[in-house]
Amino acid sequence: MTRWQKIAIVLLVFLLLAAFIVLVTTEPHIATWAFVHFGVKGFGPYYGFWSGAGSDLSELSIPITLTVVFSAWYRKNNCEVYTCWRLGKHDTAAGHTVCRKHHPDEDVRNKRRITHAHVIALHENFLRDRGMKP
């Protein structure tokens, strides 16, 4: 998001808030609605709020919680390469979680299926490199 887009969003929010304030101060039926729903006028200073606009606070907690949980999950599971948006499903030898496109192993990058024979061959190479008997 560019700097000018952020400025435009702030100005839009400010203008909407100013329009709401003007409507509340000039139109009596809108002012009455706002006073009742925000708890200014009614059965008490807090009863009107919790029966009106305040009752929506608990309903907002559900989508906010789901957004936070999804964001944390995505941040943990996405590719560690800068600006890559893909999910990182593969671990490299260095311990980084990367996507198929950025994985250094050619078999993973080219979407080849790893067969049992391929796993056995890699295991034997690993043992041979360590000086063990395959």
pLDDT by 10s per residue, the chain, length 134 = 788 999 999 999 999 999 988 887 888 887 777 777 666 666 655 676 777 677 777 888 899 999 999 999 988 888 888 888 888 888 877 788 888 888 777 766 676 666 777 778 888 888 888 888 76
Q: What is the pLDDT of residue 134?
A: 65
- Spatial neighbors of 111 by CB under 8 A, at least 6 apart, are 100
CA 125-130-133 angle, 5° bins: 70
Angle, helix 28-37 to helix 3-26, in steps of 10 degrees: 110
Claim: this prediction has a pTM higher than 0.85: no
- Spatial neighbors of 13 by CB under 8 A, at least 6 apart, are none
Sign of CA dihedral 103, 104, 110, 112: negative
